[in-house]
């Protein structure tokens, strides 16, 4: 554990005259709006970064006046049927005001009263209660069904309420409406809605949800009237919520686009139904180094307004970079140069992660594989009716030992045994996959010998832009390796049925009752090996004089590697070692390849039909930026009430002691500086007034 550096306060009092603070019942729409509650004192007001509405604690000041207008004891304050004007009822809206030197009100808190508590002791009785900021109303109604667009006309902005789950990029499939066809809220902000992720057309109308798209949907769809919280502007979200990869050889300056490459950030597969929209926004922002806070301001009429502010944690305008002040020991006190009474700070590099790999699903390949019998073949298997009956499930002579005989055809990728036509024996030689998955030689082997499960949906599309299904074909003139990758030769007739893909290895199993009368469907194409559509699966293989057939399976298999998406250590890291973190992003990133030997590839080269390397690298870069600097965390105490510091402010140094709080000290001189941020703010009015700042870099989630 890191040690704490204690900074002791000077013996000279640093406090100033207390700021005038009053508690008011807020009555919007009523003349005057505010009703002063003279018998209520605010004890603390606390704000936190994130999906936090803010909370304040209050205390009753009992008054024994006769006739009573305010509570005189705890039973008056806690009675559910009290009608005293000074009693704060559950859900009363309270505003805490202070006043500037000109007498203008400034709102410090705006929220709804709840949770009264009694503290009773022999020498005192106390009633306190808390109030939650007005943003708490955004938790009242969780996200329901998705707002959906008709799949047959996705460019027409006409959306329907549904009870379908609100889920971004389900299973990695894009399901946002097309660009240029966004819905519009009453304030003119635009946002995408949802499409059926399974409907694919040419051109593809579906978009993958990016971070700004999802945040816009959540804000503008689920907070349309902005009664309690003002939404951020859509153009600001689009400009802010991206990944910024520093240019090679230069430092990253967040305000200088010439120093980085901007890339979109994809949203993971995220079901949002049943959650509050601010909580979902937080979940999507935090892993990528973004923060959020509900900001309370005062409008020109003195009324409270709360807005949602979203920011990049390591960016900030000049106004958000601030210092603390503490004169050297022995100096004559100057309150203008000292505002630091106490501090507990830790400079912690133990949690630094300065390199990130975002892991996709394993790269997948569509290819055509030549299968071989996964059973021994004997000429005696086709001698007479009784021999053939042993392979017919409907025959009383069917033998369980023949379960896979003349039914199981395999690629035999692990050498468990296949029939070798040339030697007439079972062979355990493994067919090579080098041409598909890369050479197996050397430390960077392209693949290992393991079972590979066939995936039945291809990457190749039909004329309607729908994925083709895995295809089995049969040939009697193929002379290439069996098993092996298809070499492009042979006359092949598609098999129309009577088989299933194996669930535990690469191959097929013929599932008809009798493999010796396998109906593969007739063909009208001339020159096909089985124009009548019936294959004698036993006789055509067992009889020595028969024209043996070969099966070709076109399907998809997984390789052994993911796509390359690693953001390496940069000089801005304060530690010399590379600390790598891996992010499981298989739900959203993939690489799909149609091999040159796929029967549906008309070229001589492989075709990459999907490659999310750029998007995955963008996420890796964003997570590295959020986690590569050290952390300065702790609590700062300022011995007075001050509004000079807000959530998200960067604390740069302690002036007077020449202590920089910069956390990326190893960065190039031209790189932007990173400082700890204020992630918690507490105003304490109980006794002497003071302001407490919680500092942390709030690293993203790995």
Coil, helix or strand at residue 289: coil
pLDDT tens for residues 493-510?
999 999 999 999 999 999
pLDDT of residue 697: 55
Contact 573, 352 (CB under 8 A): yes
Q: Work out the average pLDDT over 180-204.
A: 91
Element (H, E) at 408: strand 408-410
pLDDT tens for residues 303-358?
999 999 999 887 766 678 899 999 888 888 777 788 888 999 888 787 888 899 99
More confident residue, 349 or 580: 580
Q: Which of 209, 208, 213, 215 is nearest to 51 (CA)?
A: 215
Q: At what angle do helices 211-222 and 277-285 cross, to 10 degrees?
A: 170
Given a cut of 90, is residue 18 above it in pLDDT?
no
pLDDT tens for residues 84-96?
888 898 999 999 9
The predicted model scores a pTM of: 0.82
639 vs 325: CA distance, rounded Å: 12
Q: Work out the average pLDDT over 528-532.
A: 96
Given a cut of 50, is residue 4 above it in pLDDT?
no
CB-based contacts of 597, cutoff 8 Å, min separation 6: 367, 368, 435, 436, 485, 486, 487, 488
pLDDT tens for residues 282-303?
999 999 989 999 999 999 888 9
Q: How far is CA 312 from the centre of its chain?
A: 16
Q: Work out the average pLDDT over 462-479.
A: 94
pLDDT of residue 666: 60
Given a cut of 80, is residue 365 above it in pLDDT?
yes
More confident residue, 332 or 98: 98
Structure tokens at 450: 């393991």
| pLDDT band at residue 524 using 50, 70 and 90 as cut-offs | very high
Element (H, E) at 271: strand 270-271
Q: Which of 218, 248, 252 is nearest to 232 (CA)?
A: 218
Question: Looking at the chain, how many residues does it have?
Answer: 702
pLDDT tens for residues 19-70?
899 999 998 877 678 999 999 999 999 999 999 999 999 999 987 765 677 7
Q: What are phi and psi of 295, to 5 degrees?
A: -100, 130
User: Is the peptide bond preceding residue 67 cis, with omega within 30 degrees of 0?
Assistant: yes
252 vs 262: CA distance, rounded Å: 12
Contact 583, 358 (CB under 8 A): yes
pLDDT tens for residues 128-168?
999 999 999 999 999 999 999 999 999 999 999 999 999 99
User: Can you tell me which residue has the tokens 């999906």?
Assistant: 51
pLDDT of residue 82: 75
pLDDT tens for residues 428-437?
999 999 999 9
pLDDT of residue 224: 94
Beta-bridged to residue 207, according to DSSP, are: 176
Structure tokens at 518: 């396998």
Task: Kindly report the CATH number that applies to the domain delimited by 5-9+318-352+629-696.
Answer: 2.40.30
561 vs 310: CA distance, rounded Å: 36
Q: Write down the mean pLDDT value for the chain.
A: 89
More confident residue, 684 or 249: 684
Q: Which of 362, 359, 266 is nearest to 593 (CA)?
A: 362
Element (H, E) at 387: helix 384-389
Q: Work out the average pLDDT over 659-677.
A: 74
Q: Which of 571, 674, 629 is nearest to 246 (CA)?
A: 571
CA distances from 458 to 205, 368, 384, 471 (A): 20, 11, 41, 9
Element (H, E) at 285: helix 277-285
Given a cut of 50, is residue 457 above it in pLDDT?
yes
Q: Work out the average pLDDT over 681-689.
A: 92
pLDDT of residue 318: 63
pLDDT of residue 560: 94
pLDDT of residue 66: 59
285 vs 287: CA distance, rounded Å: 6
Report the range of poorest mean pLDDT among 35-49, 467-481, 535-549, 619-633. 619-633
108 vs 684: CA distance, rounded Å: 12
664 vs 349: CA distance, rounded Å: 10
CB-based contacts of 518, cutoff 8 Å, min separation 6: 498, 510, 512, 534, 535, 536, 537
Given a cut of 90, is residue 512 above it in pLDDT?
yes
Q: What is the DSSP string of 157-222?
A: --EEEEEEE-EESGGG---BPPTT--EE-TTS-EE--B--TT---SS---BPPBHHHHHHHHHHHH
| pLDDT band at residue 1 using 50, 70 and 90 as cut-offs | very low
Number of Cβ within 10 Å of residue 658's Cβ equals 8
DSSP 7: E
Structure tokens at 51: 């999906």
Q: What is the DSSP string of 96-123?
A: EEEE-TT--EEEEEEEEEEEEEEEEETT
- From first CA to last CA, the distance across the chain in angstroms is 21
Looking at the chain, the whole-number percentage of residues with pLDDT higher than 70 is: 92
| pLDDT band at residue 667 using 50, 70 and 90 as cut-offs | low
pLDDT tens for residues 204-258?
899 999 999 999 999 999 999 999 999 999 989 999 999 988 776 556 676 677 7
């Amino acid at each position: 554990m890191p040690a704490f550096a204690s900074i002791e306060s000077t013996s000279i009092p640093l406090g100033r005259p207390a700021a005038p603070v009053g508690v008011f019942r807020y009555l919007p729409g009523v003349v005057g709006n505010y009703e002063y509650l003279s018998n209520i004192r605010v004890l603390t007001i606390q704000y936190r970064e994130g999906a936090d509405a803010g909370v304040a604690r209050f205390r009753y000041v009992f008054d024994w006046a006769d006739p009573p207008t305010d509570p005189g004891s705890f039973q008056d304050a806690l009675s559910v049927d009290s009608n005293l004007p000074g009693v704060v009822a559950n859900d009363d809206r309270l505003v805490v005001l202070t006043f500037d030197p000109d007498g203008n009100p400034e709102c410090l808190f705006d929220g709804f009263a709840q949770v009264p508590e009694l503290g009773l002791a022999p020498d005192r009785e106390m009633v306190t209660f808390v109030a939650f900021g007005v943003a708490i109303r955004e938790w009242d109604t969780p996200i329901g069904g998705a707002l959906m667009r008709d799949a047959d006309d996705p460019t027409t902005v006409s959306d329907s309420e549904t009870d379908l789950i609100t889920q971004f990029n389900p299973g990695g499939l894009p399901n946002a409406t097309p660009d240029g066809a966004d819905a519009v809220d009453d304030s003119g902000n635009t946002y995408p809605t949802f499409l059926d992720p399974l409907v694919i057309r040419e051109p593809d109308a579906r978009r993958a949800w990016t971070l700004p798209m999802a945040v816009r949907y959540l804000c503008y769809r689920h907070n349309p009237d902005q009664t309690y919280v003002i939404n951020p502007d859509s153009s600001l979200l689009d400009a802010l919520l991206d990944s910024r990869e520093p240019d090679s050889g230069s430092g990253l300056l967040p305000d200088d686009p010439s120093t980085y490459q901007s890339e979109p950030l994809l949203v993971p597969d995220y079901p949002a139904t049943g959650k509050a929209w601010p909580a979902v926004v937080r979940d999507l922002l935090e892993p990528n180094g973004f923060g959020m806070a509900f900001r309370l301001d005062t409008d020109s009429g003195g009324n409270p307004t709360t807005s949602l502010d979203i920011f990049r944690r390591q960016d900030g305008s000049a106004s958000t970079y601030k210092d603390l002040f503490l004169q050297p020991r022995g100096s004559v006190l100057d309150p203008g140069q000292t505002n630091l009474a106490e501090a507990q700070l830790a400079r912690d590099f133990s949690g630094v992660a300065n390199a990130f790999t975002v892991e996709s699903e394993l790269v997948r390949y569509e290819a055509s594989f030549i299968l071989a019998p996964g059973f021994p073949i004997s000429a005696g298997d086709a001698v007479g009716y009784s021999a053939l009956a042993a392979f017919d499930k409907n025959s009383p002579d069917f033998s369980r030992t023949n379960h896979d005989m003349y039914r199981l055809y395999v690629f035999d990728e692990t050498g468990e045994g296949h029939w070798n036509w040339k030697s007439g024996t079972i062979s355990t030689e493994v067919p090579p996959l080098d041409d598909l998955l890369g050479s197996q030689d050397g430390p960077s082997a392209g693949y290992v010998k393991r079972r590979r499960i066939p995936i039945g949906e291809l990457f190749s599309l039909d004329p309607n832009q729908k994925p083709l299904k895995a295809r089995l074909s049969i040939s009697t003139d193929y002379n290439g390796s069996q098993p092996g990758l298809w070499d492009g030769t042979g006359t092949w007739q598609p098999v129309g049925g009577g088989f299933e893909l194996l669930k535990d290895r690469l191959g097929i199993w013929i599932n008809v009752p009798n493999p010796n009368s396998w109906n593969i469907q007739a063909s009208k194409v001339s020159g096909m090996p089985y124009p009548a559509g019936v294959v004698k699966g036993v006789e055509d293989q067992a009889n020595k004089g028969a024209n043996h057939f070969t099966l070709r399976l076109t399907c998809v298999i997984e390789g052994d590697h993911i796509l390359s998406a690693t953001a390496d250590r940069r000089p801005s890291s304060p530690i010399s070692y590379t600390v790598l973190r891996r992010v499981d992003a298989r739900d959203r990133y993939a690489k799909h390849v149609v091999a040159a030997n796929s029967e549906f590839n008309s070229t001589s080269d492989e075709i990459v039909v999907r490659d999310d390397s750029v998007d995955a690298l963008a996420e890796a870069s964003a997570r590295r930026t959020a986690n590569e600097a050290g952390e300065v965390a702790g609590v700062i105490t300022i011995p007075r009430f001050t509004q000079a510091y807000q959530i998200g402010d960067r604390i740069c140094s302690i002036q007077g002691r020449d202590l920089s709080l910069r956390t990326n000290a190893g960065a190039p001189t031209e790189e932007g500086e990173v400082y700890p941020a204020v992630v918690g703010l507490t105003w304490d009015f109980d006794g002497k007034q003071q302001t407490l700042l919680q500092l942390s870099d709030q690293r993203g989630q790995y």
